[in-house]
Structure 1
Amino acid sequence: MNTSQILSPILSFPYCPDAPNWTLNWQALQAEFDWLKSLKNCPQDPRYHAEGDVLTHTRLVCEALISLPAWRDLPAIERSILFAAALLHDIAKPAATEIEADGSISSKGHVRQGAKMARQILYSMNVPFHQREAVVNLVQYGSLPLWFWDKENPQRSVIKASQLIRCDLLALLAEADVMDRHCDDREQLLERIEFFRDFCQENDCFEHPRPFADHHSRFVYFQKENGNPNYTAFDDTRFEVVLMSGLPASGKNHWICEHLPDWKVISLDELRRLMNISPEDNQGAVGDRGREIAREYMRSAKSFVWNATNISRQLRSSLVNLFSAYGGRIRIVYLEVPWEELLERNNSRDAKVPEKVIERMYNRLDIPDITEAHVVDWVVSP
């Protein structure tokens, strides 16, 4: 998803500066958000961040961002999304920071974990889904303009990022991140960002997602490591698979009954019941039986629904690989409801899931994106 797909009401992130003064109210932001306070006194390696701790760096990034004419010229919604990303881009550093034996400071894994933390924070604030995910993807890919050329396939990296978030916004966030850094390679980093801008424009993915000939060509491209984005793939799909995704009680069964009442459904919950296997037991036999039934349908080119939580990208990927190998056209349907509503629904079910289990699942949640399937639908309750 990208910010051009935002359908929800405009998000105005608290204390996001606006015309005519463009003033950063840093004291109000610190008073409003406890997660900002956690950044205080978190050290950074002075070779790369001699400006100070993570809180100091975050403030400088916000000040740099709101000073950029390109940021001020954006529509209000995009300014707000970028501002939120600047505040949240290093949110996981306190948990990830380690001081090595030689005195150097590292924070390995803080980007991926920071994206998850940003999602949790914005979810609790009831930020509209597409705007929330735009911020999450800015946090996730915010350093790409600095390091994309070091990737094994730089072209694929920027094209993939463009499917999720606009690369011109990534470049603005990266520029703000570097502008007030105190480090020896600051000018080199800024040059890399300009190179990133040029490279994205050359690949037609700077201000919009890289276009493909059709959905199937895009799907085939992202299924391969070294595909050609200009290639028009022959569509040899023979049937459709709808892969459900969402936390327990998010409404998957109801959606299937309402939208695909006549389709074959492989429900892992139903298989567990029939096989007398508890959700706490090993699920290998349940998954194996589900795949066995799926193969029977696919050999006959029958469309069907695979109904399970499917919250991890890794699990979805294994299923997508199986279904596409038989000629399936993949549609992922992700469902989400507000947290309190989710818990209320769960408590009203006969087979309710313990709240702590749902919380753990949410912490592991990878929301499906358009690079995973032919089509992805995000069905989100306001």
Structure 2
Amino acid sequence: MWTFTNDKQWAAMARRFPEIRDMAGVVQDPRHHAEGDVAIHTQLVLSALTNYTSYQSLPVDSQELVWTAALLHDVEKRSTTVVEPDGSVTSRGHARKGERTVRELLYTGYRLDTSPSFVEREQICKLVRYHGLPLWIFEKPDPLKTLLQASLEVNTEWLTMLARADVLGRICTDQADLLYRIDLFEEFCRDNQCWGQPYPFVSDEARYYYFTHETAYPDYVPFPEAGSEVVLLSGLPGVGKDTFIAQHLSDWPVISLDTYRRKLKISPTDKQGTSYVVHLAKEEAKTMLRSKTSFVWNATNLTRQLRQQLIDLFTTYKAQVRLVYLEVPHQQLVRQNETREHVVPGDVLDRMFQRLEIPALWEAHDVQYFVPERIESTISS
């Protein structure tokens, strides 16, 4: 079983992990966190969580995931906390930034004896990302769509458990109201078939249709459209995208941004040149889409915004999009990058990973993950 650390004493973790050490002294608004700084709050959250009956009834490996998320849920308040002119304290964006920090910590394996599996890691990351959702979901423009989308990424039962611990681990005058909001969130999940499980869409096409049409209903079944199939690859340089194509799609035509760059001798850092490369690739794609020819789009496609622009283009021509994310262990990634013909500098690769947004199930008609069962690391403390 994977364990974040065997020594869960706060002092020991603070010595080993700067992410935890940095929590000390990070101020919080006393109206909402009269208990003190982020370090004090986090310790109270961990205490509330481990005393929670539902947490104690979880399998041990599940406990470790929720515990780790609770430990790191406010990790990026250190970088986002601002004392406003009126004296209030805010930390906008700390959950989103925290997700990326946690992913980097767990993926690289630095200071860890072993890293979690891909599924374990992403569950922790999404618990961090969504830990405030149970409190604010009914203030979203479309609460139901927000809930069903989150259910595809995070275990809502564990999320609710974390949210309750987060509230119980603070001193505030509105604690009862916050706990009531979480109770409503739980009922909302139960009423909509996504308590502790993803919402059961009847098909991949129905799922994709629901999240791409504002007025769609979750149980609507769309008619299949007669277009080609596009395989959109996503992954860092060096994960083996070319190898994947050779093994699984060797007879498919491939549109590769790198091929265009090398042919035209355009550097990846040349923004104007890259825009021209993307234009040429899109024109080639349109030709294939018009003739209903299936093809592979081979590029890193690290951000959701970039992937969405491409998927919107492909689906305009009625194509079915299969989004394939590839990943290898960090040490293997470094090794494979160093042996490539076109090596990406290490600092550039690190920045690319920091920008990475793992594809979500709702982004395309079909989303697949080609990753190892467990990402091992030999780096220890």
TM-score, normalising length: structure 1: 0.93
2:101 maps to what in 1? 117
CA distance in 2, matches of 1:264, 1:91: 44
CA distance in 1, matches of 2:215, 2:198: 19
Is 2:85 aligned against 1:98?
Answer: no
The number of equivalent residue pairs is 366
Residue 342 of structure 1: how far off its partner (Å): 1.5
Is 2:231 aligned against 1:247?
Answer: no
Stretch moving more, 55-64 or 322-331: 322-331
SS of the residue 1:164 aligns to = coil
Query: Is the contact between residue 15 and residue 29 of structure 1 (CA under 8 Å) also seen in structure 2?
Result: no
Is 2:186 aligned against 1:201?
Answer: no
Match of 1:40 among 24, 47, 66: 24
CA distance in 1, matches of 2:228, 2:161: 42
CA distance in 1, matches of 2:366, 2:21: 40
1:222 maps to what in 2? 211
Match of 1:28 among 4, 12, 32: 12
CA distance in 1, matches of 2:201, 2:186: 20
Q: CA RMSD in A?
A: 1.3
- Which one-letter code corresponds to 2:19 in the other structure? W
Equivalent runs, 1:335-350 vs 2, <5 Å: 335-350=326-341
TM-score, normalising length: structure 2: 0.93
Residue 227 of structure 1: how far off its partner (Å): 2.1
CA distance in 2, matches of 1:355, 1:29: 28
- Which one-letter code corresponds to 1:372 in the other structure? E
CA distance in 1, matches of 2:259, 2:223: 36
1:178 maps to what in 2? 167
CA distance in 2, matches of 1:217, 1:285: 35
How far does the alpha carbon of each residue in 1:151-172 deviate from its partner, in whole angstroms, 9 at most, with x for none? 0000011100100111111100
Residue 325 of structure 1: how far off its partner (Å): 1.3
Gaps of 5+ in 2: 110-114, 376-381
Residue 96 of structure 1: how far off its partner (Å): 0.6
Query: Is the contact between residue 232 and residue 324 of structure 2 (CA under 8 Å) also seen in structure 1?
Result: yes
Residue 184 of structure 1: how far off its partner (Å): 1.1
Match of 1:235 among 209, 219, 224: 224
1:328 maps to what in 2? 319
Is 2:312 aligned against 1:318?
Answer: no
CA distance in 2, matches of 1:32, 1:360: 24
How far does the alpha carbon of each residue in 1:91-148 deviate from its partner, in whole angstroms, 9 at most, with x for none? 0001111111121111111110000001011112222111000000000111110000
Is 2:294 aligned against 1:303?
Answer: yes
Residue 237 of structure 1: how far off its partner (Å): 4.2
Residue 28 of structure 1: how far off its partner (Å): 3.2
2:65 maps to what in 1? 81
1:50 maps to what in 2? 34
1:6 maps to what in 2? none
CA distance in 1, matches of 2:10, 2:339: 43
- Which one-letter code corresponds to 2:89 in the other structure? I
Query: Is the contact between residue 42 and residue 169 of structure 2 (CA under 8 Å) also seen in structure 1?
Result: no
SS of the residue 1:331 aligns to = strand
CA distance in 1, matches of 2:265, 2:105: 38
User: 4+ residue runs of structure 1 moved beyond 4 angstroms?
Assistant: none
CA distance in 2, matches of 1:227, 1:34: 46
Query: Is the contact between residue 333 and residue 376 of structure 1 (CA under 8 Å) also seen in structure 2?
Result: yes
Q: Which has the higher contact order (CA 8 A, sep 6+)?
A: 2
1:369 maps to what in 2? 360
Identity among equivalent positions (%) equals 42
How far does the alpha carbon of each residue in 1:223-266 deviate from its partner, in whole angstroms, 9 at most, with x for none? 12342101111111422111011111110001000110000100
Query: Is the contact between residue 153 and residue 226 of structure 1 (CA under 8 Å) also seen in structure 2?
Result: no
Query: Is the contact between residue 201 and residue 219 of structure 2 (CA under 8 Å) also seen in structure 1?
Result: yes
Gaps of 5+ in 1: 1-9, 17-23
